[in-house]
Structure 1
Amino acid sequence: MRPRVWCGVLGLLALSATACGSSGAPKADSPEASGSTAGFPVSVADCEGAKTTFDSAPRRIVTSNASALETLLWLGAGDRVAGTGFPPGKGTMPAALAERAAKVPVLGKTVIPKEKLLGSGADVYIDSFSSMKNMSGAGDAPTPREFAAAGIKHVFLRSSACAAAQKGPRTDLSGVTADIEELGKITGTSRRAAELVAGMRKKTEAVRDALKDVPPDKRPTYFYFDFDAGTKQPLAVCGKQVANAVITQAGARNVFGDCDGDFKPVGWEDVVAKNPDWIQLGVRNRGGEAANEKAFDEAAEFLRTFPATKGLTAVKENRFLRIGAERTTIGGVRSADTVRDIAHTIHPDRVK
């Protein structure tokens, strides 16, 4: 794939979701098992099934990016985060988490350099994408032996890091909720994780119930337009990307949901052939409402004036969704809010 496109994808996967509703305010840092072995040992598996065991909750955590950091903040484990790569951009964290997130040391503006990660004093590294095939050129990652020599346990967020290994498309948020529950086990915050997951399921189940009598083949078609990946060649989100789960649970049909993998470059002729009912303007957070709206306007204007797309049904009828890229393509606590927001837009009479 073109370097520019994967650079954009890497940045997108690295960022946290933009502000929206939440599953309850985050609690103060008070993990149930902090400083103790209550509830331990616990074991978690990587993408290939190899297990890592924890005899107690970690005291120094390093995260690969802002999305992993945000999940730990929601769990109330933020005080134990000793550093992160791909730090959250301005305006990308929920207001309730922003102040705490800003205090986390930045070990790398992008991928954390190998030497800095190994010398960070961390006892666990939460990795959102290091094992993904499309991230193989993202940096010189430590080997399992080097992690072990540094005393760092390596844990993957499987909903993103293991996407390529998943069998079939993702149609629900079970992988995301499993990650939250797993991080709760590791950090001794399982009760908080259960609360967050319950809140997410309440929202997605309400959407499911509202749409239960809409046959799958009658649900509107949907194209996620990754504006920031470039307009010369569109980048589609495929069946294994979390966005496919979000779109499907929201009661729509991703027009590229049948392509294998998570992202795939396609041609504008492919988009035209699909003629989607709805188009989401996938724009990265610009750090403020005015800047975000300007970017959404630019994405919509491109579709209205580009010869290949100006005749599409969604374009002619102004069926655009202005929902940030990070909110859709990065799994986390707020993914359920995105499901609800999309569902309300495309099924306003059913999802209030």
Structure 2
Amino acid sequence: MRLRTLSLVTLLLVAAVAPVSGAAAVGSNGFEQQTTTTQAQACSFPYSATDATGTEVTLDSDPDRIVTLNPSAAQTMWEIGARDEVVGVSQYAAYLDGAAEKQNVSGPNGASVERVLAANPDLVLVPSSSYGASKDRVDQLRAQGVPVFVFGEGTSLAYVANKTERIGRLTGNCEAGAEVANDVRDSVSQMRSVLEDEEKPVGLNYFYGYTSGSNTFIGDVMTTAGLRNGAAEANVSGFAQINDETVVEMNPEYVVAPEESPVPANEAWNSTTAIREGNVVRVNTNYLQQPAPRSVDAAETIMRAVHPEAYEEYQQIQTGNGTATGSEASDATAAETTTTVVVDDTPPESETEAGTEPETGTETGADSPGFGVLAGLVALVGAALLAARR
């Protein structure tokens, strides 16, 4: 539920109130040309940036062939409208529409160097967990002269926004990357604003024996959605195993779990408020487990379950019209489509490769000159805002 038409809205409103004259038209065109030129200069190549490994990565020209070694990077490319530039994805990005058309670069135990090289990439994007499991493969790719950019571990939705902006810059999609990043920031700010005075119940994220403690982006998703992170309050840091004794002491009021991942049904868990009251919030696996723009959708799912009234207020801010339409309700439901969880022996790091990939108008009349045009533009703005939601 993110607003993706801010630039369009701004231009429409400027056009609506600007005087219709030759001078104004020239001035408007001049401003647009200046903005375009500035943006082009800011997004020019060659470009160099230092990645999480301390390596300076230099791109001599705008990369046209991108390989993503984890689904979070792929999801980000999809969200900034650059999926056509992606030529290779990991097997866990299969949920993304059109991913089946890309080269699968996964091997038996992670990325296949041979498959990555066969895709002839101009740039390889490597999230932190992939690097941790495949450092030697990154070294092999770099030895072949392939630019590889490794990201650090995500610990918050702010990180997700910054990473989105960085991917936009690296791939020459600066404007789109910045727009989606700001959508994430705006949505987070709006959620926190409507939840400011709400009582925050204790929540616990659970995934096959592991939980998300402090300094995790899933923990930040939960607190942004109006929960307290019980694991963090129990001094759990990062992604770590959690035992029954801690669960009983914590007594979570809500359990947040990826779809289809089991929640224990033993005596300890059954004694908690969350299980006794049926407060298990199931979230799309690919949105909850990947530090990418759709993490906001995960936060929205949690918020809707825990704070339904605040969620409605948030939804009104997002749509800009004060009411939720039937299509919007359908979109919210669609965000919870069942996915398949892929389980292995590793803990769910910040980028666990688990998972599989969301109009109305009012016609107003007036006799005064120009009012009909302005009203039409305002109606178009409203429709654009509605259509921009997932």
- TM norm structure 1: 0.70
Task: Tell me whether 1:81 sits opposite 2:86 in the alignment.
Answer: yes
CA contact (8 A) 1:203 1:337 kept: no
Whole-Å separation in 2 of the counterparts to 1:55 and 1:140: 24
Larger Rg: 2
Instruction: Provide the rounded CA distance (Å) in 2 between the counterparts of 1:347 and 1:265.
Output: 28
Q: Which residue is equivalent to 2:316? A: none
Could you say which residue in structure 2 is the equivalent of 1:121?
A: 120
| Deviation (angstroms), 1:70 | 1.8
Residue 79 of structure 1: CA displacement? 2.0
Q: Tell me, yes or no, if structure 1 residue 196 matches structure 2 residue 180.
A: yes
Query: Quick one: structure 1 residues 125 and 269, their matched pair in 2 at CA, closer, same or farther if it must change by over 3 Å?
Result: same
CA contact (8 A) 1:241 1:329 kept: no
Residues 337 and 131 of structure 1: CA distance in aligned 2, closer, same or farther (over 3 Å): closer
| Structure 1 residue ranges without an equivalent (≥5) | 1-20, 26-31, 164-169, 284-294
Structure 1 SS opposite 2:206: strand
Which amino acid in 1 is paired with 2:253? D
> Which of 224, 234, 244 in structure 1 is aligned with 2:205?
224
2:169 is aligned with what amino acid? K
Tell me which residue corresponds to 2:279.
319
- Whole-angstrom CA distance in 1 between matches of 2:214 and 2:92: 28
1:240–1:260 contact (8 Å) kept in structure 2? no
1:176 pairs with one of 145, 160, 166: 160
* Cα distance in 2 for residues equivalent to 1:307 and 1:140: 42
Counterpart of 2:246 (choices 270, 275, 285) is 270
Once residues 240 and 118 of structure 1 are traced to their aligned partners in structure 2, the CA distance between those partners, rounded to angstroms, is 35
1:341 aligns with 2:301: yes
1:108 equivalenced with 2:106 (yes/no):
yes
Q: What amino acid does structure 2 have at the position aligned with 1:101?
A: A
Quote how far apart the aligned CAs of 1:77 are: 2.2
User: How far off is 1:24 after superposition?
Assistant: 4.5
Q: What is the distance in 2 between the residues matched to 1:62 and 1:22?
A: 26
Residues 222 and 255 in structure 1, CA contact (< 8 A), matched pair in contact too: yes
Residue correspondence of structure 1 range 183-262 to structure 2 within 5 A: 183-214=167-198, 218-226=199-207, 229=208, 234-257=209-232, 259=235, 261-262=237-238
Secondary structure, aligned partner of 1:257: helix
Aligned 8 A contact 1:281 1:320 in 2: yes
Q: Identity across aligned pairs (percent)? A: 24
Preserved CA contact (<8 Å) 1:279 1:319? yes
Distance in 2, Cα, partners of 1:104 & 1:23: 29
| Deviation for aligned residue 1:238 | 2.0
Q: Encode CA deviations 1:128-152: one digit per residue, 9 max, x unaligned.
A: 23566xx44xx573254x3333121
Q: Which structure features the higher share of helix residues?
A: 2
Amino acid at match of 1:225: Y
Query: Matched residues in 2 for 1:130 and 1:200: separation?
Result: 22
Aligned to 1:289: none
C-alpha contact 1:22 1:334 (8 A) present in aligned 2: no
Q: Does 2:142 align with 1:148?
A: yes
> How far off its partner does 1:274 sit?
0.5
Answer with 184-193 or 251-260: which moved more: 251-260
Deviation at 1:112, TM superposition (A): 1.7
Q: Which runs of 4+ in 1 moved over 6 A?
A: none
Q: CA deviation at 1:56?
A: 1.9
Kindly indicate whether the alpha-carbon contact (under 8 Å) linking 1:43 and 1:52 is maintained by their aligned counterparts in 2.
yes
Secondary structure of residue in 1 paired with 2:271: coil
Q: 1:49–1:150: structure 2 CA closer, same or farther, 3 Å change rule?
A: closer
CA RMSD in angstroms comes to: 2.7
